[in-house]
Structure 1
Amino acid sequence: MITIQNNRLKATLNELGAELISLINLENEDEIMWEGNPDFWGGQSPVLFPTVGALKDDKYIFEGQTYELPRHGFARRRVFEVKGFSENEVVFELNSDEESLKIYPFEFSLEIKYTLTENKLTVSYNVKNLSQKEMYFSLGAHPGFAIDTENGLNYNDYEIAFSDDEKLEIHPLVDNLISNETQTIKLSNKTLPLSYELFAKDALVMTNMKSRELILRNKKNHHKITFTFSNFPYFGIWAAKNADFVCLEPWQGIADLENHNQELTEKFGILKLEKNQDWKADWAVKIEQFL
């Protein structure tokens, strides 16, 4: 485990998956992140790479060869190397190797940097194509934030406010794949009330969400966190059944469409990098008032 902190926040990270497992407000020792209870969901903030979501039959085709990848890729199951470390910042790196090349035929470097600045945690990603050919990949974040249901509070006391959306166009999931149909959720004053029922049919997947800032807040006590992101065109919101958390998930890429032909180069949302090209993205959470 690696810990970074400043005078406002303390973050704990696991070298396995370079996963954020704790973010604590030092003023009152409140935990911002989901506890990772395996009875509901054992993850906390996994890194989704080189795919986001499920592949059709867990397989894809590249240059005539069929490969298998688990849901959300393999990075979350790999141990990252610590490349840089200071009191309030840590940099992790994962590189391709013989094992990864068997299931993902590209040489790459994935760097993830966690930085604390006052009351904000910023997570930055840098993917570099080290292959001698074009590289195809997706990357997504999956942080789960705790919902306080103690001291007279419940899940329905929380809501998500969107900076630029009056409605959400949702792509339902069917057997973990993206449906060809869409559904619309109308927002009231750009706000989505949370409820356990909201996630009865899995995640809310959006490919055209306008907002790049979301506020998760409690309607009773006004405690809130502000979530921002850049260079992620897609977004997911999810919670496990009856669990006291919500995941805010910026993505570059989504699960396969129901009718996808499994060709990696034709996958919706897949990103192509030329030789030696970099791709960068980031998200941040600001603890303005504390959950």
Structure 2
Amino acid sequence: MIVSIKNEHLVVDFSTKGAELQRIMGTDSEVNYMWSGDAKFWGKFSPVLFPIVGAFKDNTYFYQGKSYHLSRHGFARDMEFSYEKLNTTEIAFKLRHNEETLKNYPFEFELTLKYRLQGASLQCAYQVSNPSNQPLLFSIGGHPAFAAPLHNEGVYTDYYLQFDNDDELTFHHIVDNLVLDETTTLKLSDKILPLKHELFYEDALVFKSLKSKHIRLLNNKNYNGLNFHFEGFPYFGIWAAKDANFVCLEPWCGIADGVNHNQQLADKEGMEKLQSGESWERSWEICCF
């Protein structure tokens, strides 16, 4: 089911499946800042990555002497969330553990995605709570895909990313969904990364040491673009499907297994840990113009 929030600047649509952000439309400009979801390239818009980010080696992990299987990015993106529309500009989606999730993820959890409009900005907040008397191990991340070009005019290479605090980008390579130790460094001119499809032919660019907290998506044809703000996410991904006209800006608390990982969940890089009764929150924000 599709539900919406709106104000004088933006109309925003979500699917209750995955609590997925699907459209951000300017009320005056009628610009949709989100990817179209064309299944020919990639049929999603902005999936939440939970309870893992990326993939386990062989889609398998071990916890307390037992083996479990989870596919890449976890199950939340494919599950139906309940929701509460708090007012015309704010909505909260909730997901809790059930018998099915416990089979391959032996943790009780409460996951809330809260979206809030303020002016021309949309905030997405992730809230995770541990209702059990055992520790909760999880990862979580965003995967929003932004259209490039934003209009029918122009082409992908008219667009670029501008970083607020990086003069060069050192990223890890992905092979068969796993992270290599090998890195490549891209030198930036004026903190700008020009977009070209070839950047993503080998999968996402994965960052473990990004300095920036703001990334702007801009173009050479018109004023329209966006500012993506994120804090408290130690990992970041930038990705697009092959030859597709979008770019994903992905703040992560968690990361795929390294190629040499031992598959023990307790040893997995980037996992968050909540004790009984504890809660956790992070957020990212899009400002559209």
TM-score in terms of structure 2 length:
0.97
Q: What is aligned with 2:285?
A: 284
CA deviation profile, 1:219-241 (whole Å, cap 9, x unmatched): 23242200001221110000001
Q: 1:150: Cα distance to partner? A: 5.7
Q: What is aligned with 2:4?
A: 3
What is the distance in 1 between the residues matched to 2:118 and 2:272?
Answer: 30
RMSD: 1.1
Q: What is aligned with 1:74?
A: 75
Q: 1:277: Cα distance to partner? A: 1.1
Question: SS of 2:24's equivalent?
Answer: strand
8 Å Cα contact 2:23-2:33 kept in structure 1? yes
CA deviation profile, 1:192-236 (whole Å, cap 9, x unmatched): 010011111110000110101000000232422000012211100
Q: 1:132 to 1:239 in 2, by over 3 A?
A: same
The alignment covers a number of residue pairs equal to 288
| 1:204 aligned partner, one-letter code | L
What is the distance in 2 between the residues matched to 1:195 and 1:27?
Answer: 29
| 1:171 aligned partner, one-letter code | H
Q: 1:219 to 1:99 in 2, by over 3 A?
A: same
Q: 1:85: Cα distance to partner? A: 2.9
Q: What is aligned with 2:148?
A: 147
Q: What is aligned with 2:35?
A: 34
Q: 1:64 to 1:11 in 2, by over 3 A?
A: same
Alignment of 1:42-191 (within 5 A): 42-148=43-149, 152-191=153-192
8 Å Cα contact 1:60-1:67 kept in structure 2? yes
8 Å Cα contact 1:137-1:270 kept in structure 2? yes
Q: What is aligned with 2:14?
A: 13
8 Å Cα contact 1:106-1:130 kept in structure 2? no
Q: 1:149: Cα distance to partner? A: 7.3
What is the distance in 2 between the residues matched to 1:62 and 1:32?
Answer: 41
CA deviation profile, 1:216-270 (whole Å, cap 9, x unmatched): 0002324220000122111000000110000000000011000000000100111
Percent identity between the two aligned chains: 47
What is the distance in 1 between the residues matched to 2:116 and 2:210?
Answer: 26
Q: 1:71 to 1:242 in 2, by over 3 A?
A: same
What is the distance in 2 between the residues matched to 1:198 and 1:165?
Answer: 18
Gaps of 5+ in 1: none
Q: 1:180: Cα distance to partner? A: 1.5
What is the distance in 1 between the residues matched to 2:74 and 2:187?
Answer: 32
TM-score in terms of structure 1 length:
0.97
Gaps of 5+ in 2: none
Q: 1:129: Cα distance to partner? A: 1.2
Structure 1 range deviating more: 146-155 or 4-13: 146-155
Q: What is aligned with 1:254?
A: 255
What is the distance in 2 between the residues matched to 1:221 and 1:30?
Answer: 12
What is the distance in 2 between the residues matched to 1:213 and 1:49?
Answer: 23
